[in-house]
Structure 1
């Protein structure tokens, strides 16, 4: 059973990847035309409909097995598309393979059988935005606390749907954290910890051979933790300058390689780590608890989740720079 408070959403930005020798159009429309064998003058709505059917035919088969996991599409009306919004969304079923595992009744431990040849399933929601006249899109994927099938699903669709021989490689993708979520987190967060990290050579600490011969280099971490305090991010402009002027081994903390702040959301108690100048090493995860309905078994309301993704996408697109700003 999944805990409702652990259900979250990950966001990724992905880009089509034309090969060097390709001289054609680098857009989703071109990929859709090639994949569906449509004519160049096809209208966008018909093209998107044809591509959705191609997507279903590719994904909605028997279980797709990658590494030690498998997934399939739940095509019972929960998977659909919106051509005016350039999106495809739906629900997958999948998880780790049962090889080497067994199941037994709680009331009779001797009554059991092997799970070999079975999949231990969870349900996962996906949402893909593909603007026809562009080469960049977004994928949102809902996961739980435990290991998910996100990696397997993304690699499958990138290989089977967006790769086209001999002109397009698999798309590249990166985690994306919407600015609206960053702002929301910061506005309701307190500063839990400030960390400065620097890797130094042994001789920078002490030139004595008895010291330098032990180890070549060390990672130095200076950690500043507020004691019995609840100050928020609005106080950082006052807190940070004096800390930056402090030094270790004749190096100011402002010159350390890595400078990070750990913030804690006052409501959810979740922590996130930020670089001093922006988003740091946090994954683009958005906890869905209290945003949408999630049942006692940790399964989200997928209709509500689709609507939430629609809203989040609008916020993301509003954040994108316009042509005049680039």
Structure 2
């Protein structure tokens, strides 16, 4: 059973990467160069059929996970006018010694025996044909997910030898989600992690060798019930990052910040690579979830439709992921 409070939506940009010297750069051109595509037909429809067929042939295996398309034809589709493809994947970790739970009864487990754990994951792709820039939405649970494996599959599909290299998706956050979270949150911790700080603290070789296996963390936390607005995190970071321990600057350490939502009391940790803080898109309260934490995919698709309009208008911020 998945914890409903941990169910999230992640959003990425997908920018095509033409090979040096190749003059074209668009999804239309990429699709025209995919074997089997009939140029005289509607290109978006052609790509949709190819895309669906690729993930509907059986389980796609990437590393220690596998996924395939849902067998429910109501759980995937496309819109030529809006140039979007959406659907539901089933999949997860594979391997002997694990178990899987049927989606209709997660309390009943059966031996995996080399097969795959089947959870359901929603994806949503916007691929404007005349552009080289698209968006991917992917829903995940709190634990294991197939997001990296699905993205790898897309990167492979968007690679054409001699014309397009594999694209590098970048995580982004719609501004409305950022503002909603930051305007109703407090900072509950700021930390700096590194495993090289040990040699700056002491010259004791035994201590330094021991710390090679660990990270040293310096934490800053508000006292009592004091609240630090997220907008003030930049001031703290600029000052603390400038501190030096025997020639080691904390600006070189990995910086993380923990925020607590004042309404839900949910605490989230983010990597701080700028002086800003970026939350995640938690679906609880935004999209109906069943008792197993599985979203209502019809509502999730509508939620993505709304967010897409915001992204197309340029209302988003790039984020660092941890």
Question: What TM-score do the two structures reach when normalised by structure 1?
Answer: 0.78
* SS in structure 2 at match of 1:229: coil
Q: What is the aligned partner in structure 2 of residue 30 from structure 1?
A: 29
Shift of 1:311: 1.0
CA distance in 2, matches of 1:289, 1:158: 30
Q: What do the CA deviations read for 1:242-283 (whole angstroms, capped 9, x no partner)? A: 965995658899x74356543211123222335384456x7x
**Distance change (3 Å), C-alpha of 1:101 and 1:236:** closer
Higher mean alpha-carbon deviation, 67-76 vs 221-230, is at 221-230
Contact 1:273–1:279 (CA under 8 A) maintained in structure 2: no
Instruction: Decide which of 134, 137, 150 is 2:134's aligned counterpart.
Output: 137
Shift of 1:34: 2.1
* SS in structure 2 at match of 1:80: strand
CA distance in 2, matches of 1:245, 1:103: 46
Contact 1:197–1:256 (CA under 8 A) maintained in structure 2: no
Larger radius of gyration: 1
Contact 1:69–1:96 (CA under 8 A) maintained in structure 2: yes
* SS in structure 2 at match of 1:95: strand
**Distance change (3 Å), C-alpha of 1:100 and 1:303:** same
Structure 2: gaps of 5 or more residues: 102-108, 317-322
Instruction: Decide which of 55, 60, 64 is 2:60's aligned counterpart.
Output: 64
Q: What do the CA deviations read for 1:133-182 (whole angstroms, capped 9, x no partner)? A: 221211111111221111222212321x3122232222222222233222
Structure 1: gaps of 5 or more residues: 105-111, 322-326
CA distance in 2, matches of 1:249, 1:319: 41
Shift of 1:319: 2.6
Instruction: Decide which of 75, 97, 100 is 1:100's aligned counterpart.
Output: 97
* 1:174 aligned onto 2:173: no
Superposed, 1:98-177 pairs within 5 Å as 98-101=95-98, 114-159=111-156, 161-177=157-173
Q: State the Cα RMSD in Å.
A: 3.6
Name the count of aligned residue pairs. 301
CA distance in 2, matches of 1:285, 1:267: 15
Q: What is the aligned partner in structure 2 of residue 2 from structure 1?
A: 2
